[in-house]
């Protein structure tokens, strides 16, 4: 029951290379015992949104971005209560990345919990209620985005660099 309530999207899409896109989605449906008719509608909606027209292609022949979209759909079609996404926008085109960000924020507004890792701090700044800044495996700051920005009077990127950078960026750039 717990696994049905959680969705995970790793940074590297893990899809059996010998399966076609639709076979992979059917495999996910069978694992989670999902209603095929209901999921078919949801898959069509998500494929239209993310402009996926390659479900008959083998995963091994897909680009990273294509596999990433397929992995996202395999999780989003279930609309889990808790989502864990590791660098979910990597490999996505700008339109798909924007749709994903808006969709994740919609899910959060509807009550889902979304945990996301990202190195693109502008994404975290715009999307997240709370952030944790991690350096060398340790959480060195954790608070709401607004509290961090108020405390440091800076953007999230500048806060991150102030807390983690050992060399001044300007000095590094000037030396090059």
Query: Residue 108 pLDDT > 80, yes or no?
Result: yes
d(CA 86, CA 89): 9
Q: CA–CA separation, 73 vs 56, rounded Å? A: 15
Domain count for the chain: 2
CATH number of the structural domain spanning residue 31: 3.40.50.300
Helix (H) or strand (E) holding 24: helix 21-31
User: What's the mean pLDDT when you consider all of the chain?
Assistant: 93
Question: Do 105 and 29 lie in a common domain?
Answer: yes
Same domain, 81 and 98: yes
**132 shares its domain with 112:** no
* pLDDT bucket at 21, cuts 50 / 70 / 90: very high
Task: Count the residues in the chain.
Answer: 176
Please give the helix or strand (H or E) that residue 84 lies within, else none: strand 82-86
Identify the domain containing residue 35 by its residue range: 1-117
66-98 residue pLDDT tens: 999 999 999 999 999 999 999 999 999 999 999
């Amino acid at each position: 029951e717990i696994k049905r309530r959680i969705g995970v999207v790793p940074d590297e899409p893990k899809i059996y290379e010998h399966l076609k896109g639709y076979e992979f989605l059917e495999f996910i449906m069978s694992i989670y015992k999902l209603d095929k008719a209901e999921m078919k509608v949801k898959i069509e909606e998500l494929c239209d949104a993310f402009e996926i027209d390659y479900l008959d292609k083998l995963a091994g022949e897909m680009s990273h971005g294509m596999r990433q979209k397929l992995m996202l759909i395999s999780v989003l079609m279930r609309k889990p209560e808790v989502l864990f996404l590791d660098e979910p926008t990597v490999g996505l085109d700008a339109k798909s990345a924007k749709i994903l960000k808006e969709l994740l924020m919609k899910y959060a507004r509807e009550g889902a919990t979304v945990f996301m890792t990202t190195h693109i701090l502008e994404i975290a700044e715009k999307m997240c209620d709370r952030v944790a800044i991690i350096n060398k495996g340790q959480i060195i700051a954790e608070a709401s985005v607004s509290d961090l920005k108020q405390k440091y009077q800076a953007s999230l990127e500048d806060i991150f660099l102030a807390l983690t950078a050992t060399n001044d960026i300007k000095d590094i750039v000037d030396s090059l």
